[in-house]
Structure 1
Amino acid sequence: MLSQKMENALNDQMNWEIYSAHIYLSMSSDFSRKGLPGIAQWMLAQYQEEMFHAMRFFNYINEAGGHAKLGVIDAPPYEWESPLKAFEVALEHEQGVTSRINALADLAMEERNHAVGIFLQWFISEQVEEEDTVGDIVGKLKMVGDGGGLFMLDRDLGTRVFTPPTTA
Structure 2
Amino acid sequence: MLSEKVAAALNSQVNKELFSAYMYLGMANYLNGQDFKGMAAWMKKQSAEEVGHAEKIIEYLQDCGAAVELEAIDKPKNEYESVPGVFGAALEHEKFVSASIHDLVYLVREEKDLPTENFLGWFVSEQVEEEATFSHVVELLKKINNAPAGLIILDGQLGGRED
Q: TM-score, normalised on structure 2?
A: 0.98
1:114 deviation in Å?
0.3
1:160 deviation in Å?
1.1
The one-letter amino acid of 2:112's match is: R
State how far apart, in whole Å, the 2-side matches of 1:74 and 1:161 are. Answer: 29
The reply on whether 1:159 has 2:157 as its aligned counterpart is: no
1:33 deviation in Å?
1.1
The reply on whether 1:54 has 2:54 as its aligned counterpart is: yes
Q: What is the aligned-residue identity percentage?
A: 41
- CA RMSD in angstroms, aligned pairs only: 0.7
The one-letter amino acid of 1:129's match is: E
- Runs of at least 4 residues off by over 6 Å: none
State how far apart, in whole Å, the 2-side matches of 1:160 and 1:79 are. Answer: 24
1:83 deviation in Å?
1.1
What's the secondary structure of 1:76's corresponding residue?
coil
What runs of 5+ residues in structure 2 fail to find an aligned partner?
Answer: none
State the Cα deviation string for residues 70-104 of structure 1 (Å, max 9, x = none): 10001101111111011110010000100000000
1:65 deviation in Å?
1.2
State how far apart, in whole Å, the 2-side matches of 1:32 and 1:20 are. Answer: 18
1:161 deviation in Å?
3.3
Which residue of the partner structure matches residue 110 of structure 2?
110
Which residue of the partner structure matches residue 151 of structure 2?
150
Which residue of the partner structure matches residue 132 of structure 2?
132
State how far apart, in whole Å, the 1-side matches of 2:26 and 2:72 are. Answer: 17
State the Cα deviation string for residues 27-64 of structure 1 (Å, max 9, x = none): 00111111000110110010010000000011111111
State the Cα deviation string for residues 12-39 of structure 1 (Å, max 9, x = none): 0001100000000000011111100011
Q: TM-score, normalised on structure 1?
A: 0.95
The one-letter amino acid of 2:14's match is: M
State the Cα deviation string for residues 112-154 of structure 1 (Å, max 9, x = none): 0000000000000000000000000000001012221110001
What runs of 5+ residues in structure 1 fail to find an aligned partner?
Answer: 163-168
State how far apart, in whole Å, the 1-side matches of 2:162 and 2:56 are. Answer: 19
Which residue of the partner structure matches residue 11 of structure 1?
11
State how far apart, in whole Å, the 1-side matches of 2:44 and 2:162 are. Answer: 9
